[in-house]
C-alpha cells in the first residue's frame, strides 16, 4: 500500500513517517489473516472463563474430598486463648523463620511498654509500628509430620478494628495434618501450650472485657511483681500468703470436696487510694502463677452482664472485683442521687448470686477492693464470701525503710528478670550510684526516721522516689523538706475540704 506523504512531508514531520510504517505493516498482517483461525481464537477466549470455573470447582471438590479422607483437622475459634497460643508459636517458629516473607500487616503497636529503656520512660513515647506476617494458609514440617494452618481472614478486619487487639489470635484457625488421626495435631497444640507457658513465666496476664463487653481479652502482660515489693505489715503479709498457699494445695481441694463445701476463697482489700490494693492483687497472681481477671464494678452494665462475665472466667485464677462499694443496693438509691455518687448498674443481689453460683467455680480466688469499707453490705462480706479482710493503710516507718532499700537495691538483687533486661540500659545512661548493702540499710534507717508514722500513702512516697531515683544520698537529704511540703499541702487540702463542707452544710 502506497503512502500518501511525500519524502519532504516526512522530513518536516518525522512521526508521520512512523505512522505510515505502522499502517503498512498492519495492512500486510490483515491481508494474510485467515478468517477461520480468527474464529477459533475467539471461540477459545469465550470458553476460557467457563473452563476456569470448572477447573476451580473441580479443585475445590477434590481438595475437600482429599481433606475428608486423608486430612485430620482441628478448628480453634478466634479470640480463644488457645488460638493465641497456637498463633504465637507459629509466628515465632514457622512464619518468622521463613526468608522472603513479602506480605505483612502494619499497625500501631498497642503495648509499647519497654521498661528496660529508662530514658524513654522519661519522655513521651513515640508509637512504634508493629509488622505481623500476613498469611491465610501455611504449610510446615514439625517433627516427622507435615502440617497446614489456615487462618480465616473473614473476621480479620473486625479484629484489627479493635484497638485493644494486638493482632494475634483473633481469627479462626484450622490446623490439619495428613492422616486419619488427630493425635499429631493434639501434640502440636500441646507444644504451643508449653511454649505459651514458658513465655508467660515471668509475666502476669491481666484479662479485661473487650470494649464491646462481649468477651475477655488479655489487657496487659505485666512483669511479675514480687509480693515483697508491696509494703505493708510483714505479719499480715505472711498470714495472707500462707492462707492462699494452703487454699491452693491439692489436699485442701480434696478436703473441701469431701465436705461438700464450695472450693473458693474470698478476700477484701480495703484502705485509702494509693495504698497498694491493686498492686497486691497483681503481685499475688504472679506469686501463685495465676491469671488475673479484672472487673471494675462501676463499669458493669447489668446483672446479666456480670453473670456472663463470671460464666466465661476459667476455674483457676484470681478475679479482682474493683470498687465493690459501687454496687447498687435499694437503700442507696435516693441518697446517691442527692450526693451525686456514681453507682454500678448491677445490684447487690446480682453480685451475691454470681459469687455463690457461677462465681464459686473451682479454685477461684475472688479479691474485692474498696476505699469505703463502711459502705459495704454485711451480706457481701460475710464469711464464705469474704474469708479474710486486709486493711492496707498509710505507710509505716518500717515499710518506708523497706521501700527505700528496694528503690536503691541493685537490680541483680531485687529482680533477676529486670537485671537481665536492664543491664545494658543502666550502663548506657549512667544508672543510680550503688552502695554496699550495709551502707544502704544505714541510709534507709536515716531516711525512714524523718517520715511521720502512718501519714503518707505508699504511692505518695513512690512519687518522691521517682524524683530522686539516681541518688540515695540525695533522697535522704531531700526527704525532710518534702515531708514539710506534703504536710502543708495536706493541711491545705484539709482546709479546702473544711471550707467546702461548711458551704454544703
CA dihedral 328, 274, 359, 266 (to 10 degrees): -110
User: Minimum distance between the CB of residue 268 and ligand ATP, rounded to whole angstroms?
Assistant: 13
Return the number of the residue (176 or 276) whose C-beta is nearest ligand ATP.
Answer: 276
Angstrom distance (rounded) from CA 388 to CA 243: 9
User: Minimum distance between the CB of residue 465 and ligand ATP, rounded to whole angstroms?
Assistant: 10
User: Minimum distance between the CB of residue 459 and ligand ATP, rounded to whole angstroms?
Assistant: 3
Return the number of the residue (85 or 370) whose C-beta is nearest ligand ATP.
Answer: 370
DSSP conformation letters of 113-147: --TT-HHHHHSPPPPPEEEEE--SEEEEEETTEEE
Q: In the complex, which residues of this chain contact ligand ATP (CB under 6 A)?
A: 230-232, 273-279, 371, 458-459, 462
User: Minimum distance between the CB of residue 219 and ligand ATP, rounded to whole angstroms?
Assistant: 15
User: Minimum distance between the CB of residue 272 and ligand ATP, rounded to whole angstroms?
Assistant: 7
User: Minimum distance between the CB of residue 345 and ligand ATP, rounded to whole angstroms?
Assistant: 21
Return the number of the residue (316 or 462) whose C-beta is nearest ligand ATP.
Answer: 462
- With helix as H, strand as E and coil as C, how does 447-477 read? HHHCCCCCCCCHHHHHHHHHHCCCCHHHHHH
Going across the sheet that includes 317-322, the strands are: 216-223, 203-209, 291-296, 317-322, 364-370, 264-270, 388-391
Return the number of the residue (73 or 462) whose C-beta is nearest ligand ATP.
Answer: 462
Burial profile 407-444: b = 16 or more Cβ within 10 angstroms, e = fewer: bbbebeebbeebeebbeebbeeeebbebbeeeebeebb
Return the number of the residue (79 or 231) whose C-beta is nearest ligand ATP.
Answer: 231
**What is the SS3 assignment for 206?**
strand
Return the number of the residue (159 or 371) whose C-beta is nearest ligand ATP.
Answer: 371
User: Minimum distance between the CB of residue 118 and ligand ATP, rounded to whole angstroms?
Assistant: 16
Return the number of the residue (294 or 303) whose C-beta is nearest ligand ATP.
Answer: 294
Residue 36, classified by CB atoms within 10 Å of its CB into exposed (0-12), middle (13-18) or buried (19+), is: exposed
Amino acid at each position: 500500500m502506497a503512502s500518501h506523504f511525500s519524502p519532504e512531508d516526512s522530513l518536516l514531520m518525522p512521526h508521520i513517517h512512523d505512522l505510515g510504517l505502522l499502517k503498512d505493516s498492519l495492512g500486510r498482517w490483515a491481508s494474510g489473516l485467515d478468517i477461520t483461525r480468527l474464529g477459533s481464537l475467539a471461540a477459545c477466549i469465550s470458553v476460557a472463563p467457563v473452563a476456569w470455573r470448572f477447573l476451580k470447582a473441580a479443585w475445590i471438590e477434590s481438595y475437600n474430598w482429599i481433606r475428608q479422607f486423608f486430612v485430620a483437622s482441628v478448628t480453634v475459634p478466634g479470640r480463644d486463648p488457645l488460638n493465641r497460643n497456637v498463633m504465637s508459636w507459629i509466628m515465632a517458629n514457622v512464619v518468622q523463620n521463613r526468608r522472603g516473607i513479602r506480605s505483612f500487616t502494619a499497625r500501631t503497636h498497642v503495648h509499647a511498654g519497654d521498661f528496660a529503656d529508662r530514658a524513654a520512660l522519661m519522655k513521651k513515647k513515640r508509637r512504634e509500628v508493629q509488622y505481623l506476617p500476613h498469611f491465610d494458609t501455611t504449610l510446615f514440617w514439625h517433627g516427622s509430620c507435615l502440617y497446614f494452618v489456615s487462618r480465616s481472614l473473614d473476621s480479620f478486619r473486625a479484629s484489627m478494628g479493635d484497638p485493644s487487639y494486638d493482632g494475634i489470635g483473633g481469627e479462626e484457625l484450622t490446623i490439619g495434618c495428613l492422616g486419619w488421626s488427630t493425635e499429631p495435631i493434639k501434640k502440636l497444640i500441646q507444644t504451643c501450650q508449653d511454649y505459651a507457658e514458658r513465655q508467660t513465666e515471668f509475666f502476669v496476664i491481666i484479662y479485661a472485657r473487650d470494649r464491646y463487653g462481649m468477651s475477655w481479652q488479655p489487657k496487659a502482660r505485666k512483669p511479675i511483681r514480687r509480693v515483697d515489693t508491696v509494703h505493708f505489715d510483714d505479719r499480715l503479709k505472711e498470714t495472707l500468703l500462707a492462707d492462699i498457699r494452703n487454699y491452693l494445695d491439692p489436699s485442701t481441694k480434696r478436703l473441701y470436696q469431701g465436705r461438700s463445701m464450695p472450693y473458693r476463697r474470698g478476700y477484701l482489700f480495703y484502705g485509702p487510694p494509693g495504698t497498694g490494693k491493686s498492686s497486691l492483687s497483681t503481685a499475688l497472681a504472679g506469686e501463685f502463677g495465676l491469671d488475673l481477671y479484672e472487673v471494675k464494678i462501676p463499669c458493669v452494665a447489668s446483672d446479666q452482664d456480670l453473670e456472663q462475665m463470671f460464666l466465661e472466667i476459667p476455674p483457676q485464677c484470681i478475679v479482682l472485683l474493683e470498687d465493690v462499694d459501687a454496687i447498687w443496693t435499694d437503700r442507696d438509691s435516693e441518697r446517691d442521687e442527692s450526693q451525686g455518687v456514681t453507682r454500678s448498674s448491677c445490684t447487690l443481689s446480682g453480685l451475691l448470686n454470681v459469687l455463690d453460683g457461677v462465681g464459686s467455680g473451682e479454685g477461684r480466688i475472688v479479691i474485692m477492693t474498696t476505699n469505703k469499707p463502711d459502705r459495704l453490705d454485711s451480706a457481701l462480706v460475710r464469711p464464705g464470701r469474704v474469708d479474710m479482710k486486709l486493711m492496707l493503710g498509710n505507710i509505716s516507718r518500717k515499710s518506708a525503710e523497706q521501700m527505700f532499700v528496694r528503690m536503691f537495691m541493685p537490680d541483680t538483687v531485687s529482680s533477676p528478670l529486670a537485671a537481665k533486661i536492664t543491664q545494658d540500659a543502666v550502663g548506657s545512661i549512667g544508672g543510680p550510684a550503688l552502695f554496699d548493702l550495709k551502707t544502704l540499710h544505714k541510709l534507709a534507717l536515716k531516711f525512714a526516721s524523718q517520715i511521720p508514722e502512718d501519714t503518707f500513702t505508699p504511692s505518695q512516697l513512690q512519687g518522691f522516689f521517682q524524683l530522686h531515683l539516681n541518688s540515695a544520698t540525695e533522697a535522704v537529704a531531700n526527704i525532710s523538706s518534702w515531708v514539710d511540703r506534703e504536710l502543708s499541702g495536706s493541711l491545705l487540702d484539709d482546709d479546702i475540704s473544711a471550707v467546702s463542707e461548711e458551704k454544703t452544710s
